[in-house]
Amino acid sequence: MKASGTRLFIERVTREGRQEVEDFVAEEMPLTIILNNQELVTLLCSPEDLNYLAVGFLVSEGLLKTKEEIKRVLVDNHRGVVRVETTKENAEAGELIFKRLITSGCGRGASLSRAVNAGEMGKVTSEKKITAAEVFSLARDFQQRSQGYRTTGGVHSAALSDNQNILVFHEDIGRHNAVDKVFGQSILEGIATDDGTIIASGRISSEILLKVARQRVPVIISKSAPTDAGVSLAREMGITLIGFVRGGRMNVYAGGGRVTSGS
């Protein structure tokens, strides 16, 4: 869903002078996620689709796997709280959750997650192919959908596609949140991700790659750059990582076997 903007009066200044103008800036709110009565984290995010964000966050952190585990998702938009109740007790995970969320703090702890998960998860083995023409077409559709950026200039976008169409699309002030919202909706609505393509507006770091790997998505596309750890992880996990999709060109950093030239 499109991220909303707040209307403000600001001054536009040039060398020649200044004038008051109306402007729209991206909204930012704190969201606290509570899993089975345990307060886990407070994220800053765009105020839409908090249920998807909470579920996606839990999935990305490995605290939730399937829709069937979810008993209830209670959203309090006003207080900025989402409570997720699951069939699993997280008492068992108490120490682990705590440790992970700290090390995973601001940088989201790729070191720990990587050590723990990349090996366990196993390679992404989808035989899905994607043509260069499909990549360019998806990038164009994605750009057109990214309304929030054009209005406020302050949000990231992420989408899930079947290579022909965009199936799920979200915007958020947080690069991670946009991706988590996409996976949250996919889980809640039973949309398969394991032959899909993720399109993201932001930089592809190891943390984003881990989210994608966890959902077994074989292809990720961005108009931005990856980091070296993002590329390493993509190569290790068998994920196709395409960056810098711009002006009829793209850089394929990993998994080039899935990319076929031509249309």
Site map for a second copy, 128-167, x if CB under 8 A? ----xx-xx---------------xxx-------------
Judged by phi (left if over 0) then psi (alpha if -120 to 50, else beta), residue 181 lies in alpha
State which of residues 186, 215, 253, 258 lies at the interface with a second copy (CB under 8 A): 253
User: Which residue, 189 or 228, has its beta carbon nearer to a second copy?
Assistant: 228
Contact between 214 and 108 under an 8 Å Cβ cutoff? The reply is no
User: Which residue, 152 or 186, has its beta carbon nearer to a second copy?
Assistant: 152
- Smallest gap from Cβ 237 to a second copy, in A, equals 16
Element (H, E) at 49: none
**CA 120 to CA 71: how far, in whole Å?**
27
Residues 171 to 190: which contact a second copy by CB under 8 A?
173-174, 176
- Long-range CB pairs of 131-134 (<8 Å, 24+ gap) are 131/259, 131/260, 131/261, 131/262, 131/263, 132/250, 132/259, 132/260, 132/261, 132/262, 132/263, 133/262, 133/263, 134/163, 134/164
Q: Which stretch binds a second copy (CB under 8 A): 65-73, 138-146, 159-167, 250-258?
A: 250-258
Does position 105 interact with a second copy (CB under 8 A)? The reply is yes
* Residues 257, 203, 58, 51, CA torsion sign: negative
Does position 62 interact with a second copy (CB under 8 A)? The reply is no
Q: How is residue 130 written in tokens?
A: 């994607």
State which of residues 62, 205, 220, 221 lies at the interface with a second copy (CB under 8 A): 205
Q: How many residues bind a second copy (CB under 8 A)?
A: 76
Quick check: is 45 catalytic? Answer: no
Which value, in Å, is the radius of gyration of the alpha carbons in the chain?
19
Does position 236 interact with a second copy (CB under 8 A)? The reply is no
User: Which residue, 37 or 263, has its beta carbon nearer to a second copy?
Assistant: 263
Catalytic residues: 106
